[in-house]
Each structure stands twice: as C-alpha cells, then as structure tokens.
Structure 1
Amino acid sequence: MTASARQTETAHDIPLGILSGAGAGALWGLVFLAPELARDFSALDLAAGRYCAYGLIALVLVFPRLGHYRRLLTLRDWWVLAGLALFGNSFYYVMLSAAVQKGGIALTSLVIGFMPVAVTVIGSRDRHAPSLRRLFPSLALCAAGACCIGWQAVTGHDGLSRRLTGLICALLALASWTGFAVGNSRALAAHPAISPHDWNLLTGVMTGLQAIALIPLARLTDTAAHDATRWLFLAGLSLAVAVIASLCGNALWNRMSRLLPLTMTGQMILFETAFALTYGFLWSWRWPSLPELAAFGFIVASVTSCIAAHRKPVGPAPAG
C-alpha cells in the first residue's frame, strides 16, 4: 500500500485539524517580521541563527529517544528528513527572508498565498480526494485573494529591479515549501510509529546540521559591520523564532497533517498569509486598504469552500 493510500485511510478530524492549522499560521506569520526587525543582517544570517537554535533545542528534546529512532529509521528515511529540512526550513527561509527584505511583506504574501493552489492540485491526485472540479471554487477564491494581497506591492513605487529580485526569491520559496508540504504529509503517513512532535524534532536536528554549514557562507557574503548589541539582538531573535515558529508552529502543522487530507493541508497555509498581513499592518501602524480587506474575505471564503468540498466522502474521479 502506498503512503498516500495509507494517509487517506487515516481517520480525519477536520475541526481539530483546522484549529491546528490556524495555530501554526498564527505562529508562522511572525517569521515575516523577523527580516524587517533585522534588516542589517543578510537572509543567510537569519536562517543560520534561527536554525542553529532550532536544531540545538530539537536535539536536546529528542535525545532520549534518538537511539530508538536510529534503529527504527533507515538511511533512506534520514535522507528524506534531510530533504524536508532543506525544502521546508533552510532554503525556504533564506528565500523568504530575501523576498521580504527586497519586495516587502505584501509581495511575499502574494506569492506564498498561491501555495494552497499548488498543494491542492497535487493532492487532488491522491486516492479518494475530491476532484479538481469540486475544488475549483476554493482554488479560484484563493487565487483572487492572493492577487488582492499583492496588488499594491506589485504596483508600488520601489525600484523595479528590487521588486523583481524579491519576486524571484518568493517564487523559489513557494516552490520549496510546496515540495515540503506534499513530501512531509506523505512521509508522516508512511511512519505512523513516529509522533508528529518527534518527526518535527528529527527534522529540526537535520535542519540544525544544515545551519552549521550555512555559517561560513553567511559570514563570507555579509560584509556589513555589526556591533555586539546587534549580534545579541540577532541571537535573541533567532531563539524566539526557533521556539515560536520552528518548534511550536511546526508541531501544530505536523499534527494538522495527520488530521486533514492533503487537499485541505494546502488550504491551511492561508492562515499564515492572513496572520502575516495582520502583523505587517500592526508593524506599519496602518489600516488595511480595500484590496487587502477584500483579500481577507477571499481567504475566508476559500477555506470555507474547501471544507465544504470535504464534508462527504468522495470517490475517485472516473478514468478518462
């Protein structure tokens, strides 16, 4: 039996899954503020700091069971964890940080807002998943909301070159995390003996190893001078983001991944978009514009219509 087939046979708890997804989004939305708070540091500095802290915390928490998992997991499983760590954490956060610093929170949210579309399209191929026709209203609303979110950013007054660089970084972040969302959901289904919390910690250990490798590259590429106060600030910020987003946020996301089908998993990232924009408004101390208010409406409608598409078991679509 394939991993995706095993996942569809897992008992789903949609209300609890949605609450877990909303909680993960609320915590993950905070990572959009970190690049704004530490603009004098590079994206590599931010990623190395955050994931060194995350890796160390994860190692301490999972260490009592690490011997058990070393015997349980194969070499291929560890490579899977390394790939998930790269696409879901290391590479993704470098690209997201660069996108926020170059293009701003709104532009980055525009691109990341399309993630549910990509994940849902891939998940629609799973056994017993609702058809794309049934999911189309949710996907259309998601796309409309993402367009509203980024409209002002795309037509802003910043330099075209800077916005284009931010857009490219955001697209790379989108591709990276889409691959992680699909791969992580299926990997969790393939390893029912491992709790979502421990799977998150194992991923964190692998991410920490990758972060150590990032440090020399970060120091070579960051030519700005930072005094001791700024380094202490970066250390505190990295620790806070590691605990809040990487440890707690990822744990909630993994919990959600076992409670919801893959086609709903993608929709839950919209909570991150909504919370990121809210935090951005508070940081800028301004009210949302009409397009941004419309985007919130589209996001809510998209998630609601996706839930409606999953209310009744849906058989596989007819061949042809």
Structure 2
Amino acid sequence: MLTGLLCALGAGLMWGLVFIAPLMLADYPGIMLSFGRYAAFGLIALVPALLDRQRIATLSKADWRAALKLSLVGNLLYYAALATAIQLADAPLPTMLIGTLPVVISVCSNWSAGHGAESVAWRLLAPSLLIILVGILCVNGAELAQLKLAAGHTRSLSDYALGCVIALGGVAAWTWYPIVNARYLKANPHISPSTWATAQGLATLPLALTGLLGYGIYLKLSGGAYAFPFGPRPLQFIGLMLLIGLSASWLGTLLWNKASQHLPTALLAQLIVFETLSALLYAFIFRGTLPGMQVLAGIVLLCLGVVFGVRTFQHQIP
C-alpha cells in the first residue's frame, strides 16, 4: 500500500507541472501544446524502448491497440482540452474542474465494478468523496469570486464559460483513461509499469506527429498567424515540451502504472488529488500570490478526503 501511495504522489507531483505550461506559453494554441508535449513524449520513449526492447517485443497486437486507444484519449485529447481550458479561464478553475476526477472516477469505477473484488459499499465510500467534493467547491467558489472582483480582468465571461466546458471534456477523457488503464494492467500482470509507459509513448508518437502535420496544413490553408511549428519562442517551447514530456508524461505514467498495480481503482482515483494539489501549488507560485483562507480550507478538505479514502480501502490492500 505504501508503494502505491508513494507512486501516486510522485505521479501527481509530475503531472502538476502540465498546468503551468499553458500559462508560460500563453501565446501558443492549446492544441500545439498537446501535440508538442506528446511528440516529445514519443521521442523520449525511443530511448527506454531501445533499452527495454526484449520486453517491448513481447507485446501483442491487442496490447498495442490498447496502448493506442489509451494514448489518444488519455494523452492527446485530455491535454488539448486542459491546455485550451487553462488559456481561456486561467489555471485554478480548470484545475479544480479536473480536480473533480477523484470523485467522478471513484464513483464510475465503483459502479462499474459491481460486486467484484474491487467494489466497496457506497456508505463506506461516500464520506471521503463528499469531503473531497466540498473541498473542490471551496476552491471553485473562491476562484469565481476572485474573477468577479478582479479589476481589468482580461478574460471575458464567455471565454471563462467556454474554458469550463472544454475542461469538462477533459474530465470525461480522463475518467475513462485510468479505469481502463488500471484494469488492463491488472489483467496483464506480465507487463511491467515501465514497459507499459514506454509502449504508450511509442503509440503516442505517430498520433502526435500526424496531428502536428494536420495542424500545420490547416494553418497554411487558413492563413493562421501562428509561426508553425515552434512558434514565437522556439527555445522555450522545445525546452518546456521536452521537460514535461520526460517528467509528466513518461515518468508520471510509469509511476501511475506502478500505483495501478498496487491499489484498487476507486482508491487510486481519489489519489488524483495529488495532481490537483500540486497544480494549485505551482499555479500560486507562478502567480506570486498566496492562496486565501477559503482556498486553504478547500486544500485541507482535499487532504482529509484522501486520508478517509485510504482508511476505507486499507482492509482490501495486502
């Protein structure tokens, strides 16, 4: 259990970095950040693939089809939605909408498990989920109030609303991903977490390169202003894409795969709050401000929700 918790924490710390990239590269389209990140992920995955080529060669066609589907939905579609939402609505609110994932995934996972080994009684699951949900609402309420009071705010209400809608699309994509990914790993214990992370990176590469090519053609035909492919600040763009491609994509996926093998999916889902908390920390550091009391109260509730969730599932984990 401790191994699973530490791996989930490490994955959350890595994934929190991706919420800052759209703010650091605000003049880049969200779709370019997604394609750039995952092209970097795929290129970086070539190195461990070479070192792990014997185990990579044992993956079946079914394994590669699963990796391709997981990469498309959980990587490209999810991050394109997230990056676009952050640019439209700023980091904290999309962060906290994505932060509903612990509740949404736990409910979906527990519901789909039926009466299986991973299922838990709703009366036991409800307290931790309720605490996490209240924490999310606390932070969301604070961010909405800040938006209304901010003088000269550059984001219109329509942009803010559109960002929220797109963030909800990201929630849907990443609700599907961890449930399917965890169950595939548990059904195929011969696949190591590192091999599966590398396989997803390799599956992502052709998708990302195809997306980059398609977007470049679209810009050419439509006369878009974006300086394809590396934009107005190529060194910053390439450096940041390589950083999050290595840390958030490959290492984060490896740690999450490891956690998926050790913890029930409904508990694992609640541990996504580590990503939310990390993203909030990085966002406030980037802003150069401290969170208010309401945000701090929400953060405390999120942490308490995790503690309750761990205690709920403790009897199920060897």
The question of a shared fold, defined as TM-score above 0.5 by the shorter chain, is answered with yes
2:192 aligned residue:
195
Give 2:207's match in structure 1, choosing from 210, 219, 243: 210
Q: Does 1:171 align with 2:171?
A: no
Distance 1:74 1:173 in 2: 29
Q: Does 1:303 align with 2:293?
A: no
Distance 1:18 1:142 in 2: 17
Query: 1:290 is matched by which residue type in structure 2?
Result: M
Distance 1:185 1:111 in 2: 22
Distance 1:79 1:98 in 2: 27
Distance 2:248 2:90 in 1: 20
2:225 aligned residue:
223
Q: For 1:221-271, what per-residue CA distance to the aligned partner results, in whole angstroms no more than 9, with x for missing partners?
A: 552348876012111110011111111111111111111111111011100
Query: 1:200 is matched by which residue type in structure 2?
Result: A
Q: TM-score, normalised by structure 2?
A: 0.89
SS of the residue aligned with 1:311? helix
Distance 1:164 1:124 in 2: 30
Give 2:315's match in structure 1, choosing from 296, 312, 317: 312
1:134 aligned residue:
124
Give 1:105's match in structure 2, choosing from 73, 76, 91: 91
Residues 48, 218 of structure 1: 8 Å contact kept: no
Give 1:95's match in structure 2, choosing from 70, 74, 81: 81
Tell me by how many angstroms 1:86 deviates. 1.1
Q: Does 1:115 align with 2:118?
A: no
Q: Does 1:74 align with 2:74?
A: no
Give 1:30's match in structure 2, choosing from 4, 9, 17: 17
User: Equivalences for 1:138-157 in 2 at 5 Å?
Assistant: 138-155=128-145, 156-157=147-148
1:245 aligned residue:
248
Residues 109, 149 of structure 1: 8 Å contact kept: no
Q: Which runs of 5+ in 2 are unaligned?
A: 149-154
Tell me by how many angstroms 1:186 deviates. 0.6
1:59 aligned residue:
46
After superposition, the Cα gap between the structure-2 partners of 1:312 and 1:150, relative to the gap in structure 1 and judged at 3 Å, is same
Percentage of pairs with the same residue:
32
Residues 22, 268 of structure 1: 8 Å contact kept: yes
Aligned residues between the structures: 300
Distance 1:21 1:185 in 2: 13
1:40 aligned residue:
27
Q: TM-score, normalised by structure 1?
A: 0.89
Distance 2:2 2:90 in 1: 33
Q: For 1:67-88, what per-residue CA distance to the aligned partner results, in whole angstroms no more than 9, with x for missing partners?
A: 6544x33333222111100111
Residues 154, 163 of structure 1: 8 Å contact kept: no
Tell me by how many angstroms 1:19 deviates. 1.2
Tell me by how many angstroms 1:64 deviates. 4.7
Tell me by how many angstroms 1:140 deviates. 0.4
Give 1:291's match in structure 2, choosing from 289, 294, 297: 294
Tell me by how many angstroms 1:62 deviates. 1.1
Q: Which runs of 5+ in 1 are unaligned?
A: 1-13, 315-320
Query: 1:79 is matched by which residue type in structure 2?
Result: R
Distance 1:69 1:166 in 2: 39
Tell me by how many angstroms 1:196 deviates. 0.4
Distance 2:169 2:304 in 1: 27
